[in-house]
Amino acid sequence: MNTYSKAVDFFKSKQINESNKSSNLILAAYELRTPENLGALIRLASNLGIEKVLFIQNENKFKTSKIARVAHSGLKHVNYSFCTSEDFFSLIPEDFDIVAVETSKNSTNLFTTVLPEKCILLLGNERYGIDQEFLNRVSKTVFIPLIGKTLSMNVSHAAALAAFEWGRQHLDLDQI
């Protein structure tokens, strides 16, 4: 019989290799507009064992309570911080490649692109995307193929698809 199991109990019962828990993935988001999306990215990072999330904002103008409501227990497990546009590139480890999730002229399909093992997934503002200055400095740009009537996606949903695709390629998620 296929019976419901609480998610926490379900995943605790799985044999997860230690190598599956740590990752060389960093999430970064450019000038997000809503605290709920920040919270969703923190929670997503915690889901995949991502230790670091960078929010590129000139200031933290959000209520922590709104971020915390969505981030839930992710706040305990993820190091998130705010940085300015000017400081972002100096915070990136030299051996990491930046991959922008964006619709641009040179974007390639996320699901056919080999993502670097040491990777920063950069996501853009919910309305305006990623500034051209940033796009000029990334290693790759990927898009998520959309075929329905709505041809845009919430930033946290796009991050989830991209992060789990990276995880599929580098963390052997299909072995869990």
Q: Where are the domains of the chain?
A: 19-175
Strands (E), 65-129: 79-83, 97-101, 108-109, 119-123
19-175 has which fold? Alpha/beta knot (3.40.1280)
* 59-118 pLDDT per residue, tens: 778 888 889 899 998 989 999 999 999 999 999 999 999 999 999 999 999 999 999 999
Q: What is the pLDDT of residue 114?
A: 98
126 near 32, Cβ under 8 Å?
yes
Q: What is the pLDDT of residue 17?
A: 61
Q: What percent of the chain has pLDDT over 90?
A: 75
Tokens 């019962």 belong to residue: 13
Tokens 């670097």 belong to residue: 116
* 16-42 pLDDT per residue, tens: 665 554 579 999 999 999 999 999 999
- Specify burial of residue 52 (Cβ count, 10 A radius: 0-12, 13-18, 19+): middle
Collapsing DSSP states into helix, strand and coil, what is residue 68? helix
